[in-house]
Amino acid sequence: MTNMYSLRKATLDDIETLVDFRIEFLKDIQEMPSGKNLENFKDNLRNFFINRMRSDEFIAWLAIIEKEVIATSGLSFLQRPPHFGNLTGYFAYIMNMYTKPEWRRKGIGSALLEKIFGEIKKKGIKSVVLHATPIGQPLYEKYGFKLNDGDKEMIMKL
């Protein structure tokens, strides 16, 4: 097996791979649903990726070795009401950054981020947001991401 990987933009043919990698990512940070709830979750993920990819609101890149996907990245383009720190309100949200454990710390995440940044630059977006896991945080810090201590986000589950 070679250690040379290739990168390519995901297509609608890659939806199942995106779903599978999203689930693997979430297993690291959340308790997973089971049975019918898991199937409903997968259906919702498929619909999310299909709809957002068709509307160009979501882009993903894959790292591949010998036809096996070993890592994925995702990027959503979103808009909030403009504010003084972002006059257009448009921002990019990096998500679904997941590398199979045996391929971590080999520069693959960095290569995927470079592709993501290229997509962000093409769109002219100046604000990028992500939620880092403890595993991924050092990579993002290397690129200049900082924790937003002023973030006052509050969540209520209904």
- Whether 158 is in a domain gets the answer no
Query: What CATH number did the domain enclosing 113 receive?
Result: 3.40.630.30
Q: 4-44: per-residue pLDDT in tens?
A: 999 999 999 999 999 999 999 998 888 888 888 999 999 99
Number of domains the chain is built from: 1
Q: In this structure, what DSSP letter does residue 83 have?
A: B
Residue 154 counted as domain residue:
no
Count of beta carbons in the 10 Å neighbourhood of residue 122: 9
Q: Say yes or no to pLDDT of 98 above 60.
A: yes
Token output for 77:
């383009």
128 domain-assigned:
yes
Could you list the residue range(s) of the whole structural domain that residue 60 is in? 6-142
Is residue 156 one of the residues assigned to a domain? no
Using only the alpha carbons of the chain, give its radius of gyration.
Answer: 16
pTM: 0.88
1, part of any domain: no
Confidence check: pLDDT of 1 > 50: no
DSSP assigned state of 8: E
| 123 occurs within a structural domain | yes
* CA dist., res. 27 & res. 31, Å (int): 7
Predicted pLDDT at 155: 65
Domain assignment present for residue 152? The answer is no
